[in-house]
């Protein structure tokens, strides 16, 4: 059975982070106009401390929908591959909130994807330490080391240069076509 790494943020779900930024800043973020990974966090740069206080006790995932077709395709992949959800959880700016973030991630995955055993969650900060046959992520550098690298198309990687052997997918149906 081939090993398969699946990223969580911006591959399985968006979570609630941008929603809280919009609420806090009283703005509407237009993701179609954004190409820079740090841009969203830059929006709160000037009020960083207040923002983290605002977010501190808010669940960053509860109620956030899964991406379209994610549930069905993951269920099929889980039967065919040795599948792990690999996600980083540390907020380096506010390191002590990270423990809560890990909890939110855990309970979200357990509730939304009940067919994946929690022993298959890997909470980490450095995905490059992990060897997998196949990696799916929206961050190009997180795909290193895999035989099959699948880049999930997101606003921040649209204009990025990447190896020719990386397969870009736009949605979960395309993942299904590549892996099933």
- Size of interface with Mg ion, in residues (CB under 5 A): 4
Question: What tokens appear for 151 in the block?
Answer: 């880049």
Query: How many whole angstroms separate alpha carbon 152 and alpha carbon 91?
Result: 22
Q: How, if at all, do strands 121-124 and 134-137 pair?
A: unpaired
Nearest approach, Cβ of residue 142 and Mg ion (Å):
7
Within 136-165, the residues that bind Mg ion by CB under 5 A are 138
Q: Is residue 10 close enough to count as binding Mg ion by CB under 5 A?
A: yes
Nearest approach, Cβ of residue 46 and Mg ion (Å):
25
Edge-to-edge strands of the sheet including 121-124? 121-124, 82-88, 3-7, 134-137, 148-152, 166-169
Residue among 10 and 169 whose Cβ is closer to Mg ion: 10
Q: Could you tell me the sign of the dihedral formed by the alpha carbons of 91, 15, 109, 176, in that order? A: negative
DSSP helix/strand/coil, 92? coil
Binding mask 121-140 for Mg ion (x = CB under 5 A): -----------------x--
Which position's Cβ is nearest Mg ion? Answer: 9
Residue among 119 and 141 whose Cβ is closer to Mg ion: 141
Helix 70-80 vs helix 172-179: crossing angle, to nearest 10: 20
When binding is defined by CB under 5 A, the residue of 6, 9, 73, 86 that contacts Mg ion is 9
Residue among 44 and 138 whose Cβ is closer to Mg ion: 138
Rounded-to-10 torsion of CA 5, 12, 167, 158: -130
Residue among 7 and 43 whose Cβ is closer to Mg ion: 7
Nearest approach, Cβ of residue 154 and Mg ion (Å):
8
Residue among 7 and 113 whose Cβ is closer to Mg ion: 7
When binding is defined by CB under 5 A, the residue of 4, 6, 7, 113 that contacts Mg ion is 7
DSSP E strands, 39-155: 82-88, 121-124, 134-137, 148-152
Summarize as ranges the residues that interact with Mg ion (CB under 5 A): 7, 9-10, 138
């Amino acid at each position: 059975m081939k090993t398969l790494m699946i990223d969580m943020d911006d591959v399985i779900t968006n979570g609630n982070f941008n929603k809280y930024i919009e609420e806090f800043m009283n703005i509407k973020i237009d993701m179609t106009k954004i190409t820079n990974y740090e841009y969203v966090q830059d929006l709160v740069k000037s009020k960083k401390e207040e923002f983290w206080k605002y977010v501190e006790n808010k669940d960053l995932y509860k109620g956030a929908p899964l991406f379209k077709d994610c549930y069905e395709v993951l269920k099929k992949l889980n039967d065919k591959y040795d599948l792990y959800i690999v996600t980083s959880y540390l907020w380096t700016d506010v390191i002590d909130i990270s423990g809560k973030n890990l909890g939110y991630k855990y309970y979200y995955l357990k509730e939304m994807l009940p067919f994946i055993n929690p022993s298959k969650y890997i909470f980490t900060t450095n995905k490059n330490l992990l060897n997998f046959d196949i990696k799916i992520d929206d961050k190009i550098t997180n795909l290193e080391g895999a035989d099959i690298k699948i880049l999930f198309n997101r606003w921040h990687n649209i204009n990025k240069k990447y190896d020719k052997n990386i397969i870009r997918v736009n949605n979960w149906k395309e993942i299904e076509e590549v892996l099933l």
